[in-house]
Amino acid sequence: MLEAEPGTRPTWRHPGPSTVVLQIASPLPLRRRTPSIHAMSLMWAGGALIAVNIIGTIGYKIIGGEQATWTDCFYMTFITVATIGYGEMIDLSTHPGGRLFTVGVAFFGIAAMTYMFSSVTAWILESDLNQTLRRRRMEKEIGRLDGHYIICGIGRVGSNVAAELLKTARRFTVIEEDMHALEAYQEQHPDVLFVHGDAADDDVLARAGIAHAAGVFAVTGDDSRNIVIALSAKQINPLLRVVARVHDIRNGDKARRAGADEIVSPDFTGGMRIASAMIRPHVVNFMDQMLRRDDGLRVEEVLVPPTFQPRTLATLKLQSRDFVLMATHENGHWVFNPDAEHEIRPGHALIVMATPQGREQVAAALRKS
């Protein structure tokens, strides 16, 4: 149902006990761009250089008298400022202050040119040209990614998701519409790959490499937008995994119907965490210490590839200080602490406590077998 009040944007409301509001974006007001400090410096430097050339031309005309043409005077000024060093076009020996005047023209002209070139360099680095080149390089790097993750929304939740991916050595890109939030994250992580735009837009998702991504985190602060992101992502790439954040747990079913594989409610999860801290404090402390470790030790899952030939754990020789095999997940069933004769087949998932290096060791052993 569309609702609108005078002077406001229309909204769509889904009837029922829980309400999802989709806002139709209105055009943003245009901001008047003011000249930057580098552009102003460039204007002052250019003005100073023009003034030096005008004063030098007039001065050489006075020194050279009627024998010197205006073209010769300007040329004399230009080669002096540019430090070209050709012969004197005007005889300076006939005027007592001729050479001193040339020294002054050279000093102020070279200073103006140096200031102008430095201002041009700073202006180029600040201008849209630099941003365009950086964006193109970033788009090429994103295009080379495969099996990466896309974080839609880099607020408080998205930043924590990104921190976990960084600790566990996983590649990801960020989609964020709020440039201020994106710049704040870039200050801490200047090498982050990002796309500035609305994550619900198919073109923006495509620029983030969704066709080759392994998963999407829809973790903006708006339930309705996260639902639309899940729907758009699954329509473009049905094979990827989508985890959506919802504030209202009643919106979980809507998100699943839109395509989300997993729903996370920070309020619900926070409540469970508080209860666990009371009734099982040692377990919670163990998990907290693991998440705070600098070596990236985590409980990870490694999928058995389709090309894997069924073998027992004993023949795989999965032994290392970098990982511990805890369980396997097979066709919806769990096998905890499997014995050495347990057979591993394609499609199974190995649950290991491992560092990023240990996770790669397990994956490499499965690929070789």
- Asked, for residue 188, whether it belongs to a domain, the answer is yes
Average pLDDT rounded to a whole number, residues 161-189? 91
Average pLDDT rounded to a whole number, residues 27-37? 45
Q: Distance (Å, rounded) from C-alpha 345 to C-alpha 332?
A: 14
In terms of domains, do 158 and 262 share one? yes
In terms of domains, do 164 and 118 share one? no
Of 16 and 72, which is predicted with more confidence?
Answer: 72
**Domain edge (last residue) among 228, 253, 270:** 270
In terms of domains, do 226 and 301 share one? no
In terms of domains, do 328 and 214 share one? no
Least confident residue range of 32-41, 106-115, 147-156, 282-291: 32-41
- Asked, for residue 7, whether it belongs to a domain, the answer is no
Query: Residue 30 pLDDT > 50, yes or no?
Result: no
**What integer pLDDT is reported at residue 130 of this predicted model?**
61
Query: Residue 335 pLDDT > 60, yes or no?
Result: yes
Sole residue written with tokens 């960084």 = 166
**What integer pLDDT is reported at residue 129 of this predicted model?**
60
φ/ψ bin of 147: left (φ > 0), alpha (ψ from -120 to 50), beta (otherwise): left
Of 243 and 320, which is predicted with more confidence?
Answer: 243
pTM over 0.85: no
> How many helices (H) does the chain have, and how many strands (E)?
13, 15
Query: Residue 20 pLDDT > 80, yes or no?
Result: no
**Domain edge (last residue) among 126, 161, 181:** 126
In terms of domains, do 157 and 260 share one? yes
| Spatial CA neighbour of 106 closest among 55, 46, 45 | 55
In terms of domains, do 263 and 305 share one? no
CATH number for the domain that contains residue 202: 3.40.50.720
Query: Which residues on adjacent β-strands are paired with residue 262?
Result: 243
In terms of domains, do 202 and 257 share one? yes
| Spatial CA neighbour of 249 closest among 223, 275, 273 | 223
In terms of domains, do 163 and 246 share one? yes
Q: How many domains is the chain partitioned into structurally? A: 3
Domain span holding position 330? 297-368
**What integer pLDDT is reported at residue 256 of this predicted model?**
93
- Asked, for residue 165, whether it belongs to a domain, the answer is yes
- Asked, for residue 264, whether it belongs to a domain, the answer is yes
What 3-state DSSP class applies to 364? helix
**What integer pLDDT is reported at residue 125 of this predicted model?**
67
In terms of domains, do 150 and 266 share one? yes
Average pLDDT rounded to a whole number, residues 336-347? 89
- Asked, for residue 15, whether it belongs to a domain, the answer is no
In terms of domains, do 111 and 73 share one? yes
Query: Residue 19 pLDDT > 50, yes or no?
Result: no
- Asked, for residue 91, whether it belongs to a domain, the answer is yes
Confidence of residue 3 (pLDDT cuts 50, 70, 90): very low
pLDDT per position as a tens digit, 180-234: 999 899 899 988 999 999 999 999 999 999 999 999 999 999 999 999 999 999 9
| Contact yes or no for 82/49 (Cβ under 8 A) | no
Which DSSP state fits 197?
S
Q: Distance (Å, rounded) from C-alpha 172 to C-alpha 161?
A: 10
pLDDT per position as a tens digit, 69-125: 888 888 888 888 887 767 776 767 667 777 788 888 888 888 888 888 887 777 766
Q: 34: which 2 tokens?
A: 């003011």
In terms of domains, do 86 and 194 share one? no
- Asked, for residue 226, whether it belongs to a domain, the answer is yes
In terms of domains, do 105 and 170 share one? no
| Spatial CA neighbour of 256 closest among 241, 269, 270 | 241
Q: Where are the alpha helices (DSSP H) in 194-265?
A: 202-207, 223-236, 252-258
CATH number for the domain that contains residue 339: 3.30.70.1450
Question: What are the angstrom distances between the C-alpha of 306 and each of 213, 309, 346, 367?
Answer: 19, 8, 5, 10
196 burial type by CB count under 10 A (0-12 exposed, 13-18 middle, 19+ buried): middle
Tell me the residue type at 125: L
Q: Distance (Å, rounded) from C-alpha 344 to C-alpha 226?
A: 37
Percent of the chain clearing pLDDT 90 (strictly above): 31
- Asked, for residue 141, whether it belongs to a domain, the answer is no
